[in-house]
Amino acid sequence: MSGRTVFRFMVIIFVMVYAGIAFGQDGLQKYFNGAALKVKATTDPTQKREILNNSFEKMSKALDKVQGSPLVSKDDRAGLELFKATLQEKQDELTGLNGYERVSDEQLDAFSDYVVQDMEQADRSITISLVAALLIIIIIILLV
């Protein structure tokens, strides 16, 4: 193997590792931000609800799969469980279940911002490791 091939291989590995780290760290916020942008891009409330609902369901499925993975720690499982519960609350509010008032059609854009902003607080209540975050994003991509 020539020196140039080794060098290229190393560069590819570095790029992939760094890209993976960035992808895992920011992927969850970007996922919900993408959904919010789609919600605001349409004027049809039914479509808005469908986009939000799909984003919650896809994320919940990914969380279920990651929770069962041997790669995630016990602490991660607890964090994922809490994350899933907060998602379920939002889904309940969107549809008006479990004591929530249903989010009105006029409030759907604001609600999509609420979902994004709730993920972007300066708290530490949901702690998910990089490995778990990366797995979630990979599974979401596979679910498309």
Partner 1 sequence: MLLVGVGYCVGLALFLSSCSSIRPAHRVTPLGEEGAFPPRYSIVFIIHGDGGYLYHDVRGNAYRADEETLAKAITVAQRNPQAEVFIFHEKRRRHFLLFFPRRDGKFYYYRHGRLLAEETYWRNQGQSRFDPEVELYHRFRAEERPGLTRLFLYFGHEIPEFGGAGYDASYSKRRFTVDDLADGLKRITGDSAKFDLIVLSTCFNGTPHTIAALAPHGRYIIASPDNLHLSYFDLGPFEQLEVGLPDGDVSAFAKTLARHAFDRQTEDMQTAVTVAVYDADRVQGFLDSVDSVYDRALATLKGQTLASIEHFDCAEDPAYIRPGMSEGVDVFYRPPRFGRLKHKQSHSGWECWRFLK
Could you say which of 47, 50, 113, 138 contacts partner 1 (CB under 8 A)?
113
The Cβ of residue 141 has, within 10 Å, a number of other Cβ atoms equal to: 12
DSSP 8-class letter at 42: -
The Cβ of residue 50 has, within 10 Å, a number of other Cβ atoms equal to: 14
CA angle 13, 61, 118 (to 5 degrees): 85
In the complex, minimum distance from the CB of residue 137 to partner 1, in angstroms, rounded to a whole number: 13
43 binds partner 1 (CB under 8 A): no
Could you say which of 1, 43, 106, 122 contacts partner 1 (CB under 8 A)?
122
Distance of alpha carbon 98 from alpha carbon 72, whole angstroms? 30
Positions that interact with partner 1 (CB under 8 A): 3-4, 7, 10, 13-14, 17, 25-26, 29-30, 33, 36-37, 75, 78-79, 81-82, 89-90, 93, 103, 107, 110-111, 113-114, 116-118, 120-127, 130
